[in-house]
Structure 1
Amino acid sequence: MFNSFFNNQFINASIKKYLEKNLKEFKNIKYAYAIMNKKNPNDFAIITNRTEWFDFYIKNNFQFIDPVLITASCRLTPFSWDENIMISSGLKMPKIFDIAKNYSVINGYTFILHDHNHNLVVLSMIMDKTCDDDIEKTILEKKNDLQMLLLTTHEKMTTLYQEIEDSNNFDKKSQKEILSKRENEIIYWASMGKSYQEIALILGIKLTTVKYHIGNTVKKLGVTNAKHAIRLGVELKLIRPVFPDSE
């Protein structure tokens, strides 16, 4: 969906702040909100407060062999995990946990979302010796809230990225000048309240030519009539000013 695959630092910092605000009651908890394209696992992004471990994780492409992600890809419901987790084939992958122990990653609880863009999205609550003794109990009690947090976080994330995508697409269209020079001239004068006959006189062209270009503009903008085309052109700032002596 997104060319940059969720790597905008400003947006991600905003999402990180949102997550941490909503995870305040889970004292000393480490979390990881991760997104992986199921069609191409190379497309992977993560927001976490366990940065040292996940910088190493990303550098080594551990998303390909992470049994937590592999398990999540085949599930809809949240699950707990530790170094003894097995993937669906019954195999264990101890290597990643042997390394993770060096970063105090021992066990955790993962919430799952499969979005409509073929992404696997997870929110993992990572537990270590710094967590409160009753942290696992608290997570289970707040399971529904945490699943909802994953949903709202991802909706917020995708909305922010979609806004950028839409803006970039609009800029590209603007650079290509959606309207030709003549179409712009005609719709500009129409937006200034000039009749088709007046526009023909101003531009020194035939009335049929004015109507022809108005029809093309209506088609290009995907509207039903000239009035709608003018309104949309003004709202989207597609109409460039025309000076009386321009041709």
Structure 2
Amino acid sequence: MGNFPTLIFASITVTEAVGILELLHNAAVAEVQEHFEQLLNQFRNVFAFRSVLIGVVNVDAFDKSNPLAWEASPTTHSVISSGFPHEWLEEYFNGSYYRYDKVVHLLMKGCFAHTWEELYAQCETASERMVFDGAKTHGLYGGLSVGYSNEESRYRSFISCVGCGEGDDTRLLPIVQYLMGRIHGALVDAAFSKMRMHDELQNGPQVPVTSRAKEIAFWVCEGKTYQEIAVILGVKERTVRYHIGKLFETFGVHNRSQLVKEVLARSWFSSNKS
């Protein structure tokens, strides 16, 4: 993502600048749902959004050849909301709005950043426009959405912010896009833990292992190299080697094969390995 864009500095107030620094710090230490709920409340306070929703989608559950086949469930997505009406969220999922949501479809293609006005203009069908029209009946309009992805990862993250002041959606869009790039890693870590792993070890000694180390262990079990894991997770290769070294120490093993055996014995996550 590079350094903090100078252009963004020119468009923010002092209060927003302080808030952005706090958001960056809190995003760096966020690990569980409660942390992200606090982060969303902070988003609302800093930028005066009425509602904010953030989430992760598992790309493996989305059939790109047939987008309408995607089914929303706790195993395919993880969504946290602050200020979004419960009635709309229930209607969105139970009424299958997610099947036609322009935000979801763009997310499957990669990174994006658009105001809702821009997204509405891109709608090609009545069903796609229906999503925005339905949201508007619940007071959700004047918003923006940002999607973030690492092309090698199975997870894509997104954020939708509602209630921007006149002209603020365009001004705040690059700021939210920048912040989302910083939040993505922590959000995926939390979702990975929720979707893929047990909260506690089911077998063997109760050893302390971080969510990042477990995530890396998953890709080791999938046969990925250090370099491939680094690309998938968007981290440096030395970070991957550090965590794997710690796992070696934790389990008293000396190579990857032994580590895979120890990890699979503890049923941290589903694997095709036998």
Q: Secondary structure at the match of 1:110?
A: strand
1:1-247 aligned within 5 A: 11-40=32-61, 41-42=70-71, 43-49=76-82, 50-52=84-86, 53-82=88-117, 84-87=120-123, 90-92=124-126, 93-115=128-150, 116-127=152-163, 131-140=164-173, 143=174, 145-160=175-190, 168=198, 171-174=201-204, 221-223=252-254
CA-atom RMSD, angstroms?
Answer: 3.6
TM-score by length of structure 1 reads 0.54
Question: What is the CA deviation profile of residues 156-178 of structure 1, one whole-angstrom value per residue up to 9, with x for unaligned ones?
Answer: 23334566799848723417xxx
Match of 1:185 in 2: none
TM-score (ref. length: structure 2): 0.49
Q: Which residue is equivalent to 2:242?
A: none
CA contact (8 A) 1:68 1:81 kept: no
1: CA distance between counterparts of 2:92 and 2:113?
22
The superposition leaves residues 25-82 of structure 1 with CA deviations (integer Å, 9 ceiling, x where unpaired) of 2114321112222221431221112042223212333222112221333342311223
Q: How many corresponding residue pairs? A: 166
Cα offset for 1:122? 0.9
In structure 2, relative to structure 1, the CA distance for the partners of 1:55 and 1:162 (3 Å cut) is: same
Of stretches 166-175 and 149-158 in structure 1, the one that deviates more from structure 2 is 166-175
Closer, same or farther: CA 168–47 of 1 in aligned 2, 3 Å: closer
- Specify the alignment match of 1:195 in structure 2: none
Is the alpha carbon distance of 1:160 and 1:94 closer, same or farther for their aligned partners in structure 2, counting shifts above 3 Å? Answer: closer
Query: How far apart, CA to CA, are the structure 1 residues paired with 2:187 and 2:107?
Result: 20
Whether the aligned pair in 2 keeps the contact of 1:67 and 1:85 (CA below 8 Å) is no
CA distance in 1, matches of 2:169, 2:94: 30
Q: Unaligned 5+ residue runs, structure 2?
A: 1-30, 62-69, 206-250, 256-274
- Alignment check: 8 A CA contact 1:100 1:106 kept: yes
Paired amino acid for 1:26: F
Secondary structure of 1:25's counterpart equals helix
CA distance in 1, matches of 2:116, 2:160: 10
User: Do the aligned partners of residues 55 and 14 (structure 1) sit closer, same or farther apart at CA in structure 2, a change above 3 Å counting?
Assistant: farther
Determine if contact 1:19/1:153 at 8 Å carries over to the other structure: no
Point out the structure with the larger helix share.
2
Q: Which runs of 5+ in 1 are unaligned?
A: 1-9, 176-219, 225-247
Larger Rg belongs to: 1
What is the Cα deviation at residue 155 of structure 1?
Answer: 2.0
The letter for the 2-side match of 1:48 is: S
- Say whether the 8 Å CA contact 2:115–2:170 is kept in structure 1: no
